[in-house]
Amino acid sequence: MIIFEFRIFIYCDKIKSRFLKCKTVGGNSHSRGIFWQGWGAGYSEIIKENKLFEHYYTELKIVPEGEFEEFMEAMREPLPATIRITGYKSHAKEILHTLKEKYFKEVQDLEVDGQKIEAPQPLSWYPDELAWHTNLSRKILRKSPLLEKFHQFLVSETESGNISRQEAVSMIPPLLLKIEPQHKILDMCAAPGSKTAQLIEMLHSDMDVPFPEGFVIANDVDNKRCYLLVHQAKRLNSPCIMVVNHDASSIPRLHFDQDGKKDVLFYDRILCDVPCSGDGTMRKNIDVWKKWTTSNSLQLHGLQIRIAVRGVEQLAVGGRMVYSTCSLNPIEDEAVIAALLEKSEGALELADASPDLPGLKYMPGITSWKLMTKEGQWYSDWSKVPTSRHTQIRPTMFPPTDPEKLANMKLERCMRILPHHQNTGGFFVAVLVKKAPMPWNRPDGSSADAPVEAVEGETPAEGNPSVPDTPDLLEVKKDNVCGPPPPKKMKLFGFKEDPFVFLTEDDPIFPPIQAFYDLSPDFPKLNVLTRTHEGKKRQLYMVSKELRNVLLNNSERMKVINTGVKVWSRNTDGEQFGCAFRLAQEGIYTLCPYIRARIINICVEDVKVLLTQENPFLRKLGDDAHNQAKKLGMGSIVLRYLPDPKDLDAPQCPIDLCGWRGKTSIRAFVPRNERLHYLRMVGVEVFHDKQGKRNDGSTEIQERSTEDAEGLSQEHHSSVPFYDAAAAETGPLEVLVG
């Protein structure tokens, strides 16, 4: 298995919290594994056997007859490493081309210690060959320079957001949601964020649209894990993502203004990937072997139902919700879906998702199951459960007893992925479509899509399984400030967040920026925000119009951890050139459609010069770029490469780089891993050998510390040092390219 190891450092105002490698924890934890561990590392004493597990699943017959031994053998084998090329950026095809034509070709003919290396293979069911799996191990990686180069490529591209390390089965739920750019999406239990990243990519399928109408609200109950989620989301540089921190089973109902009227926010798509016992992850989380017991599922069943119910309450009529677990246990799977369908009284139906992923092998959901205690005692019906067990075992854990009701549920439309069928982890997924408002949202026959005033004061019907909404303040926060909820409204825990302050159209910051970059008249000024209510504004961020709407109308009921993409950073020295704010690479693709000045068109050779030389003189650019640069004054610039359809050896996608035009020189102002990414796109490979040398034999002048390169601030994440205009002429800051 390819091992990816890095540390994420999270900095807040007063607390520095270090996240090391996170493991999947069974039982009650929301964690399902954040970074792959070395197969067997630290687990040599764990024997991959659990007789209770084998007995339980033999009796349940979820595995086809005659395949159980093969199933158990697969569970004991290491899980292949899988990667996904992000479809969010127009660079996805270029990455795929590089992988297939360079790294995969080199690997397929390679032998290490007389053993032929198994070439990576595409996942047959993932569209456009954008997901691959490989069985390369750490031991083999260490023995081959070619494989080490491949490994460095994967790590670097992952950090720049162009490749995602993600378990194969984890990629399934977002695909089944059928995301479109206008969809409002809720990810209920989002951390660590690999599925969230997929949702964002799908939202931005058209890169010519900087602000899709849709957005993703990514929630997690664990405050610390929310920052890990922020790190994942920030690699994608989207203005359409918001990270919030709530208990998914009681996540607040949000409101927004629509045509001057305040309405309830209902989501078009909801991903409900609930906390589970994780017995489908035994191939990568070996400690589950010794910790597994049936009581894990019994303890989680109620929480899973509450989260799922809260999800469908907030789903728009006609919307889709995907419920998923990495557990094979029907108590966490079909039992939850059956309970949900029964509570809905026809408002929900299971969709047939079989045509959506041709090539994916799965088993249909089961309609009959029984329950076993950790002592090995079986119950097939609620009526047989003794009173002493009623607090542990609930009626919803059993299949419906009415045959007609059971048949109408169509539980066979659920999908259970077994490890031995396509060499994956174990997984369960079900797609629910909302046909009508939930019964408890329409006690008088009224629609759940009623205005806020009609919904807000409702009394839940008797037996309502949802957690009722708490009273809310509906007024928009004054002065365009969206702060964290006050302590009396909501219990605060974790790190203290700075407020989100939206700038007004007449903010004095705008005129110099507008003039310097010649922003087009349709530039959405109202979408610009800062995290500082008082004092100088150092960073400017942008969110989509729809997320601004959500922020302003829900400041008292929602704990926002992070939102927006950084577009400008203050550079005081820039004031003498006409603008105190330089462009930020993170938001360049969001801003560029509105920028009409300060643009230099460059060619492939210019890209190579700008990204391999630290502070090249203007004359080192090609004649065309040089002439453009001479006409510009000093300050922040856009360096734009446009593809030439006739030159098929050059990148066939546009590239925008932030830069700085100095007195006699020019500089690309791009984070290290993005530099490596763009260099590979133009045919330059930068590779470190074990002595830290580049492939051209030179060494770095100054290596960035891990802490500096991977630091994650609560306000912004940047692996670029703050730019000082004077430094461009007086000396180097540091080498950013390996």
400 annotated as belonging to a binding site for a ligand: no
DSSP string, 234-297: HTT--TTEEEE---GGGPPPPEEEETTEEEE--EEEEEEE-----GGGTTT-TTHHHH--HHHH
Interatomic CA distance for residues 133 and 120, integer angstroms: 6
Burial of 353 (0-12, 13-18, 19+ CB in 10 A): buried
Written as six digits, the tokens of 374 are: 């950790």
Amino acid of residue 295: S
191 annotated as belonging to a binding site for a ligand: yes
368 annotated as belonging to a binding site for a ligand: no
220 annotated as belonging to a binding site for a ligand: yes
Burial of 193 (0-12, 13-18, 19+ CB in 10 A): buried
Measuring CA to CA, which residue among 560, 633, 549, 642 is closest to residue 597? Answer: 633
CB-based contact 369:399 (threshold 8 Å): yes
Which residues pair with residue 272 across a beta bridge? Answer: 323
Instruction: State the pairing for strand pair 8-11/560-563.
Output: unpaired
Looking at residue 66, the DSSP 8-state letter turns out to be T
Q: Is 326 a catalytic residue?
A: yes
Residues 22, 326, 482, 579: which is the catalytic one? 326
592 annotated as belonging to a binding site for a ligand: no
3-state secondary structure of 678: helix
250 annotated as belonging to a binding site for a ligand: no
Interatomic CA distance for residues 443 and 186, integer angstroms: 26
Q: Count other Cβ atoms within 10 Å, centred on residue 252.
A: 21
Instruction: State the pairing for strand pair 115-116/111-112.
Output: antiparallel
Interatomic CA distance for residues 663 and 669, integer angstroms: 16
263 annotated as belonging to a binding site for a ligand: no
Is the bond leading into 192 cis (omega within 30 degrees of zero)?
Answer: yes
Torsion angles phi and psi, residue 239, rounded to 5: -85, 5
Measuring CA to CA, which residue among 521, 522, 544, 543 is closest to residue 212? Answer: 544
- Give residues with Cβ within 8 angstroms of 159, minimum separation 6: 6, 235, 673, 710
Written as six digits, the tokens of 398 are: 């059993």
566 annotated as belonging to a binding site for a ligand: no
CB-based contact 284:37 (threshold 8 Å): yes
194 annotated as belonging to a binding site for a ligand: yes
Interatomic CA distance for residues 70 and 207, integer angstroms: 45
CB-based contact 292:53 (threshold 8 Å): yes
247 annotated as belonging to a binding site for a ligand: yes
Q: Count other Cβ atoms within 10 Å, centred on residue 95.
A: 20
Measuring CA to CA, which residue among 450, 506, 420 is closest to residue 316? Answer: 450
Q: Which residues are annotated as a binding site for S-adenosyl-L-methionine?
A: 189-195, 220, 247, 273
Q: Catalytic positions, please?
A: 326
